[in-house]
Structure 1
Amino acid sequence: MTTRQDRPIRIGLQLQPQHADYDAIRRTAAEAEELGVDVLFNWDHFYPLSGDPEGKHFECWTMLGAWAEATSRVEIGALVTCNSYRNPELLADMARTVDHISGGRLILGIGAGWFQKDYDEYGYEFGTAGSRLADLADALPRIEKRLTKLNPPPTRKIPVLIGGGGEKKTLRLVARHADIWHGFGDVDVAARKIEILDRHCADVGRDPAEIERSVGVSGSPAETGDQLAELGITLFTVGVSGPDYDLGPLREWLAWRDRRNG
């Protein structure tokens, strides 16, 4: 079994599919893989989250299928899939298919959803934060069950990443279902969330070391990298937006990873 101490530092890139033509997204994905990024993420929205709210934007899972063919080494996934947008059984089948196309490189990132414009424009019921979390709690075992029924089955146990920091409900779902937890916030916030996640793991009888810790980062690794790593976080993801996709910060984090991993 992998323990927290055994995990190497990994660097992800969230290639945000906004304000750019797809050619630029494809080129950036290829460059990131060549630079040595460990995980290439997009996100699951229908409109930009920053800049012009009506700017250029592309759909998540269609893109993951293309990345599965266009890349050869990196793991790929959504940071994160919105549970509300697809039937859980369908999502499981989509994930299994991209898993096969990629040769076993998919991470199934998922969360409860939050961006109301997506819901309103595409006809989904927004509900409340509580109802969306309840839907996620219902969906996760359905996804797990469907993955056992598919023929052919996935090439591996597809890692499930759950994003969110809700202390009573989301982190309990992480303890029950996730292989990776993704959170946000500064060092003090991350420390608090990890402590609470460990308690939820104890409550459900799970070894917390089975769950990889992941955070979104900005700025220089000199500012927070070592402190976050000392908390047991091993996956650090840099976000970049179009149209230019500046990979300068990513290069800094990759160099820091290589120094940490020796």
Structure 2
Amino acid sequence: MSRPVRIGVQLQPQHAPEYKVIRDAVLRSEDAGVDIVFNWDHFFPLTGDPNGAHFECWTMLAAVAEQTERVEIGALVTGGGYRNPDLLADMARTVDHISGGRLILGIGAGWFQRDYDEYGYEFGTPGSRLTLLKEYLARITDRLRKLNPQPLREIPILIGGGGEKKTLRLVAEYAAMWHTFADLDALAHKNQVLADHCAAVGTDQARIERSVQWPGEEKAPAFVAAGVTTFTIGVSGPDYDLSEIERAVRWRDEINPEPVSGLA
């Protein structure tokens, strides 16, 4: 399956003293030509002042859905244990309608203990969080089929993580996109593990879009050769500097045969 290369921005909702700063960054990102605007699902900053300004993920996604016209939107990624999965499916369906069918449902097992402790969720272990994610993915997909009205499209599920026994199995079963932090050498191995899981569950592994953090213009072609077609650059407040985004978009336009947006 041939896909164009796409560029995403992760507007990390930390250290922005007012929401209007993020609203402006969303506008500048769409104007700059990105394909996807992501945020993240944490309750506190991950870098800088740990008690600095921060905003909530899904409330923001609804606002971004209304503000934008072209880009796909989503969380990179939703914490799997933070919300009732049936409610999350309903939230996703609603934001999908607000956006006109542009939502990507990014989800992972969660890892940042402070989020869990301060908001009253059970942190558990990596294994228990992955077990919960498996249960939640089944409930999310089932609830999406039952909602009235239905989503405007089959909402693509993006799963973040690289665990070979459990996470990649869930990618094979549920995902349209897989986001990994693997380096180039590890990516080749994990691609094969994913292909094996896909064969076991009867999924065409070529339909799963590979996504990584932007490695820079010099290294990006090697990732494309390894099957990656989505690159995401994270930026934080209060300035939301998009200069690297602009460079990545120019590079994308040079290597793509023609401009194409949306999941291929």
What is the TM-score with the length of structure 1 in the denominator?
0.96
2:11 aligned to which of 8, 15, 22: 15
CA distance in 1, matches of 2:123, 2:162: 20
Matched letter for residue 167 of structure 2 = T
Bigger mean CA deviation after superposition, 174-183 or 248-257:
248-257
1:213 aligns with 2:213: no
String of CA shifts for 1:110-169, please: whole Å, max 9, x gaps. Answer: 000000000000000000000000000001111011011111010000000000000110
SS at match of 1:158: coil
Matches within 5 A, 1:148-159: 148-159=145-156
1:74 aligned to which of 62, 66, 71: 71
CA distance in 1, matches of 2:175, 2:116: 25
- Stretches of structure 1 lacking an aligned partner (at least 5 in a row): none
Matches within 5 A, 1:37-56: 37-56=34-53
Deviation for aligned residue 1:221: 1.4
Deviation for aligned residue 1:185: 2.9
Q: Which residue of 1 aligns with 2:90?
A: 93
Q: Which residue of 1 aligns with 2:228?
A: 233
Matched letter for residue 113 of structure 1 = G
CA distance in 1, matches of 2:239, 2:183: 27
1:120 aligned to which of 111, 117, 121: 117
SS at match of 1:84: coil
1:178 aligns with 2:170: no
Whether the 8 Å CA contact 2:40–2:75 is kept in 1: the answer is: yes
**RMSD (Å), alpha carbons:** 0.8
Structure 1: 4+ residue segments shifted above 4 A: none
Matched letter for residue 133 of structure 1 = L
SS at match of 2:81: helix
Deviation for aligned residue 1:186: 1.9
SS at match of 1:85: coil
Whether the 8 Å CA contact 2:65–2:99 is kept in 1: the answer is: yes
CA distance in 2, matches of 1:260, 1:63: 32
Matched letter for residue 7 of structure 1 = R
Bigger mean CA deviation after superposition, 41-50 or 244-253:
244-253
String of CA shifts for 1:9-64, please: whole Å, max 9, x gaps. Answer: 00000000000121111111100101110000000000000000000000000000
CA distance in 2, matches of 1:186, 1:30: 31
1:164 aligns with 2:161: yes
- Number of corresponding residues: 256
- Stretches of structure 2 lacking an aligned partner (at least 5 in a row): 258-264
Matched letter for residue 125 of structure 1 = E
